[in-house]
Structure 1
Amino acid sequence: MGTESECMLQLAAEAFQSKNYDLAADIYEHQLSELADPGCRLDLTVKRADALALGGKLAEAFGVYRQASEAEGLRPAHLDTLLVCLVEHIGRRPPGGGDAPRNRHPAGGDATGGCGAFSCGLCLGFLFEPATLPCGHCFCKRCLDREGAEKPVRCRDCGDGSRLTDVRSYRVNVALSGLLCKWFPAQTHAVRLRREGNGLYAEKRSEEALEKYNQAILMAPSDHILFSNRSQIHSTLKHYEMALRDAESACRLKPHWSKGHVRKAQALASIGRTEEALREYLLCLSMQPDCRLARSEAQKLLSDFLAPLTEQVPDRILDYSSLLSSRAHLKSSIAQLDAPTVPPPLKTSQPPGHAQSPSESALLPSTLPPDAPGRRLHPCEAVKASGIRGQEEAAGRKRDRSAELPGPWSSVVDDLVDPTDLECSLCMRIFYEPVATPCGHTFCLKCLERCLDHNPKCPLCKEELSEFLARRQYCKTVLMENLISKYLPTELLERQNVNQEEIAELSNLNKNVPIFVCTMAFPTVPCPLHIFEPCYRLMIRRCMETGTKCFGMCLGDDLKGFADYGCLLEIRNVEFFSDGRSVVDTIGRRRFKVVQHNQRDGYNTADIEYLEDVKVEGVAEQELQSLHNVVYDQALVWLNSLKVEQKERILGHFGPMPEKDSEPQASPNGPSWCWWLLAVLPLEGRAQLPFLALTSLKERLSGIRRVLLFMTRSRHR
């Protein structure tokens, strides 16, 4: 018998796992009818109730949970599945098939917050003392500190956390903080009063804290955080009705902020309106499923509703008589529920988040229809009504995200904006691609990069920025860029035009081509470079930004600065070091002749014209082919005659010698093996330079042949 029972329980577990909840519930019911051991009944009863709840039969599930509570002493932890089902019921899509709410903030609020562009994505309140993360998004400094102390931080706006190490080390963004203080003095002062009140509350000086919050709300009457926190203070002072009013105000100002609903639920529970408190906790969990406080309190309330009727009054419920009456009504009517049906939306003219008054929620006889005005809902009906309300609020949250700034605040900024408040302290022009350093200072991206080329320290406060420099991933400060785009469009357009003209000029590979004065370079031959001078750091960065990834390489010249012939190099890869130095992997592409020598921002430039070999035909082509084959064979003999160590060093640095070309004149630069050989031959740069200037392949081959003959004779002496 025991084996058969175990098989049935295993089958029920498999049915539960495969989401066949009806079958699982039937098996558990059958096993309960045959179970002799009373000690195992609680576990099976809870499993059956869980299966019914997950199968959508909430009314029947309530009855089974009630049986478990009356017979076995149900604990709050047993109601986790029921709680999940109720929360999912609230968050279900509207029956009309509308989309689920979008842009929901992880903390249960709108992504933009009540202050529009000037809101913090963590507290959803006014952005006070903003700190800028590496991704470019801004949050209140204190919010970041609090978030970083609890868990690894990820940006709430973009989800990036890869570059966030110690967020508490990030300083307040000086430029943004100054702007917000100037533009919104009342909101700024209200936040300061709020922090003073928080300090007093932490010291258990609740009356003084309340006074601070009263002053703050007078200055910022639309700040939902102020009402939420004042609700908590009222609760501490046992002003429960006032706490409820403040919590309702917070919910009206921010209907989808989970913390406001927690405050409201706590206030409702304090005055004995436990059914409404449960509803608020469920709404909170539908917005923020990981809210542990709401989950635990909702489990306790559900446990109280399902517990047997007794004359004992739990200490945590202040007015238990109404709960007893409500619970009796719940038990008498729960069997009459038709779980799959959803009652029609509650008709109310109140805004979302408005709680019913005591008169509206007074207990009426159960003979009233489910949607009758004034009828008090038992928990299962309240959950369904909450679901409808949550769906209506979710539909109301779909707003035009193109207008990031609310109208009144936008007009305030229009009157106060001053272009000088948005100027870079380095170039003294309006910020272009503003970037904030970890120390809190803001600069144009290019201005900052040029300063860091010379010294890895902040140009203003001289704080070390080596780690910031090593990342080389500078993200623009989103809020600063949006402000400039909205309020200074003309000045921004001028900056953009200047930048585009500069990019177009730097992209020209015939005029003012950047020249690296260092060594000889040849077409098709790799040329690795170690960049450490500030002027060449700037030059390499510009080559990458323009997209050309090319610059010229020339030998130095005592008179002209650099030689009249060179090779255009293409950047294949750049590896940066923490101190700003870099290793650049390049390869030669084309030869050129310098037409005019110039300079730009500390490095050399030149107007150039490209060189190509002159092609020959007929008898001259046959002679060229014969000479090509002879010189290639001669080069192989010389290479193979080198010592093993010497040959390995050459092959390790330059790679293997290219194969002989079947058509020597196919490339405008001639055969690639010629340039490889010239690069490895032990010749000084001045001796190699004439080969680069030649446009006759025959003369180049003849010159290489003479060099090889000289090298062979020198070795035999």
Structure 2
Amino acid sequence: MWAGGMGEPGPAGPCAEMLQVAEEAFRGGNFELAAEIYGSQLAELPQPERGLCLRQGDALARAGRMAEALEAYSAAARLARLRPEELRELAESLALRLREKALRLPPWPGGAAEGAGEALGDPACCRPPALLGCPRCRRLLCEPVTLPCGHTRCRRCAEPGGCCCPTPRRPASARLNVVLGNLLEKWLEGESRARRLRAEGDELRDGQELAAALEKYSQALESAPCKCSLIAQRAELYIMVKNYQQALHDADALCQTRPLWPKGHYVKAQALSGLGRTEEALKEFLYCVALNPDWSLMKKEAQKVHHLSNLGGDTVLENSATLALREIPAILVDASDFECSLCMRLFYEPVTTPCGHTFCLKCLERCLDHNPHCPLCKEELSEFLASRTYKKTLLTEELIVRYLPEELAERKKVYEEEMKELSNLNKDVPIFVCTMAFPTIPCPLHVFEPRYRLMIRRCMETGTKQFGMCLADELKGFADYGCMLEIRDVKFFPDGRSVVDTVGVRRFRVLNHGQRDGYNTANIEYLEDKKVEGAEYEELVSLHDSVYDQAVAWFTSLKDNMKAQILNHFGSMPGKESEPQSNPSGPAWYWWLLAVLPLENRAQLAILAMTSLKDRLIAIRRVLIFVTRKRPR
């Protein structure tokens, strides 16, 4: 019926144009049409052609006409033995039909990566509670180790390549995370014990100590709340030692308990194959493909077994609901399990040391300011301090967020209030008692005392990046006047010291002296020059220009080596400003000059405290006259 107008088959074979139409129909999903064309072409041949028989079988299988498909494949097999890859369409068609008719499952959503992982992964009932699974092995954390990047893995999984971070390498001294290890024992005692025994069994299996590994898996099954995954692993080990009957016993139990878990049918198929029961094995392989059509390994296994004539497809598997993620019972969750041993409060930004102890980030930093040892076990942490990789322990933080949201909100509120208090640049302002500092003038600092390490760190954390600088005072502790410094950069050294690059910002007067956590503080008010107008302003401009020229003349007259030293330390002298009152502290060149002139600190302090630019200019002019006269001719 398809010959008219389309050409006739030649004496050597079928019509090429008709076969092209059939192939296009097959690719377009019109399998009935493709099967009919292939059949008509075969009917016109004096002898059946093997390739056409296979394509007819493929089209009939895809169309759901299984009995006819089997006849077509049998015709091809009589011409030459079938190869496994030639049964791909049949295997997939049988599996999809099995999925739809017998298993009554919805169409497969697709996605090979998703399917392959789910096929070999543990069933939902055996998965660990939310957050407590190792991202690498997907099982309950076993001897959790926290990496320098802040992620936590099983000890066995915490090897190079065990994390997606660029440099998650586990230090040689990394230990069990004590907090998380204790939580696992408290919340999931039986499951944790089973997980440890299973890990021991895995190591024995990898070392080819198979009998000992079987014993460990059997011991683990005694305390495991969900046994499916463990039974599957034990069955695979039985297959490795060729105890197929025991493997089949375990696999049968799995398929009854979790009928829609592909892994159960997979180990059953392997056991049946080992026992020589190939037709039953094929059925199980097809179940694997039906449950997970993207599982390419099972397609190949199904294609290998080609005793098809007695295949049945009427077995109906009972559906089972997918379990939701398990949660830890609220009665087991206690905020004290997440308490920092230093501040006795809920962890805030928890950090785990290489020795496995966890503290709030700020608490740990303060301890390391004084001593490079773990506050609990006293282990040396110099390398940890040198790297300054204080990454948050993400799992601990995620558990707090999930199970202690109210306590965390309260802890965060306390922290934010502390930061707000520390951010106030009028009240309890941190004071560095050291040297004179002036507005606009750089002031590099070498910080090594623990109290000032803490102070600088807090200035950075609050975002103010500012603190006061004052001279020491024998009676009061520090002078009544100073200059605010702004941090431009901080460079840390391995031993905790740092070089802080700062620049003067504003002058201030101290109202009250105080202390916080070992360093000095003060309530302050900022100083501004009193502005003048009219004739006073004209007189001020004239004085300003005159003293500036005098300053330039003095600096120019200095010897080259002295000028080089000044320029190297303080930079070039700022230029003369057209409006001397534009800045609340006066022109920048003035402060540069005050910093480089050979004046005692107390004299500099007296000038810093002045709020009259005119008075300051007169004072500096006197100094210039003095140093000029004193210089040897």
TM-score (norm 2): 0.74
On the 8 A contact 2:115/2:293 being kept in 1, the answer is no
Q: Which residue of 1 aligns with 2:484?
A: 568
Deviation at 1:116, TM superposition (A): 2.0
Alignment counterpart, residue 352 of structure 2, candidates 425, 436, 445: 436
Alignment counterpart, residue 162 of structure 1, candidates 152, 160, 166: 166
Q: Which residue of 2 aligns with 1:451?
A: 367
Alignment counterpart, residue 157 of structure 2, candidates 135, 143, 146: 143
Larger mean CA deviation between 557-566 and 631-640 belongs to 631-640
Written as runs of structure 1 = structure 2, the 5 A alignment for 1:307-706 is 323-326=305-308, 363=311, 373=314, 405-406=326-327, 409-411=328-330, 414=331, 416-489=332-405, 491-706=407-622
Deviation at 1:619, TM superposition (A): 0.7
Larger mean CA deviation between 660-669 and 273-282 belongs to 273-282
Matched, 1:188 2:188: no
In structure 1, C-alpha distance between the alignment counterparts of 2:528 and 2:571, rounded to whole Å: 25
On the 8 A contact 1:523/1:675 being kept in 2, the answer is yes
Alignment counterpart, residue 229 of structure 1, candidates 210, 227, 233: 233
Tell me: CA distance 1:482–1:524, structure 2 relative to 1, closer, same or farther (3 Å): same
SS at match of 2:525: strand
SS at match of 2:486: strand
Matched, 1:153 2:159: no
Larger mean CA deviation between 109-118 and 674-683 belongs to 109-118
Deviation at 1:459, TM superposition (A): 1.2
Deviation at 1:453, TM superposition (A): 0.5
User: Percent identity over the alignment?
Assistant: 54
Structure possessing the higher radius of gyration over alpha carbons: 2
Deviation at 1:244, TM superposition (A): 3.1
TM-score (norm 1): 0.66
Deviation at 1:547, TM superposition (A): 1.5
On the 8 A contact 1:103/1:110 being kept in 2, the answer is no
SS at match of 1:142: coil
Larger mean CA deviation between 701-710 and 613-622 belongs to 701-710
Q: Which residue of 1 aligns with 2:34?
A: none
SS at match of 1:143: coil
Residue identity matched to 2:557: S
Alignment counterpart, residue 131 of structure 1, candidates 105, 128, 145: 145
On the 8 A contact 1:262/1:281 being kept in 2, the answer is no
Matched, 1:122 2:128: no
Deviation at 1:179, TM superposition (A): 2.0
Deviation at 1:114, TM superposition (A): 3.5
SS at match of 2:157: helix
Q: Which residue of 1 aligns with 2:101?
A: none
Deviation at 1:165, TM superposition (A): 2.5
In structure 2, C-alpha distance between the alignment counterparts of 1:531 and 1:465, rounded to whole Å: 20
Q: Unaligned regions of 5+ residues in structure 2, if any?
A: 1-26, 28-50, 56-71, 92-105
Give a deviation string over 1:540-576, Cα, whole Å, max 9, x none.
Answer: 1111111211100011111111111100111122121
SS at match of 1:166: coil
In structure 1, C-alpha distance between the alignment counterparts of 2:263 and 2:500, rounded to whole Å: 53
Tell me: CA distance 1:627–1:495, structure 2 relative to 1, closer, same or farther (3 Å): same
Tell me: CA distance 1:104–1:559, structure 2 relative to 1, closer, same or farther (3 Å): farther
Deviation at 1:280, TM superposition (A): 4.5
On the 8 A contact 1:135/1:475 being kept in 2, the answer is yes
Give a deviation string over 1:244-265, Cα, whole Å, max 9, x none.
Answer: 3466589769x5xx98787566
Residue identity matched to 1:115: P
Residue identity matched to 1:612: E
Tell me: CA distance 1:373–1:224, structure 2 relative to 1, closer, same or farther (3 Å): closer
Residue identity matched to 1:570: E
Deviation at 1:580, TM superposition (A): 1.0
Tell me: CA distance 1:223–1:576, structure 2 relative to 1, closer, same or farther (3 Å): farther
Residue identity matched to 1:452: L
Deviation at 1:105, TM superposition (A): 7.7
On the 8 A contact 1:129/1:140 being kept in 2, the answer is yes
For these two proteins, the number of residue pairs brought into alignment is 555
In structure 1, C-alpha distance between the alignment counterparts of 2:115 and 2:250, rounded to whole Å: 30
Give a deviation string over 1:306-330, Cα, whole Å, max 9, x none.
Answer: xxxxxxxxxxxxxxxxx2333xx7x
Q: Unaligned regions of 5+ residues in structure 1, if any?
A: 1-21, 23-44, 50-62, 84-93, 287-293, 306-322, 330-361, 365-371, 376-391
In structure 1, C-alpha distance between the alignment counterparts of 2:87 and 2:492, rounded to whole Å: 56
Alignment counterpart, residue 249 of structure 2, candidates 236, 242, 246: 242
Residue identity matched to 2:359: F
Tell me: CA distance 1:689–1:199, structure 2 relative to 1, closer, same or farther (3 Å): closer
Deviation at 1:637, TM superposition (A): 2.0
SS at match of 1:324: coil
Deviation at 1:524, TM superposition (A): 1.2
SS at match of 2:489: strand
On the 8 A contact 1:251/1:261 being kept in 2, the answer is no
On the 8 A contact 1:144/1:168 being kept in 2, the answer is no
Residue identity matched to 1:583: V
Written as runs of structure 1 = structure 2, the 5 A alignment for 1:38-77 is none
SS at match of 1:118: coil
On the 8 A contact 1:510/1:607 being kept in 2, the answer is yes
On the 8 A contact 2:148/2:170 being kept in 1, the answer is no
Tell me: CA distance 1:689–1:550, structure 2 relative to 1, closer, same or farther (3 Å): same
Deviation at 1:198, TM superposition (A): 4.1
SS at match of 2:504: strand
Deviation at 1:208, TM superposition (A): 5.6
> What is the RMSD of the two structures over their aligned residues, measured on CA atoms?
4.8
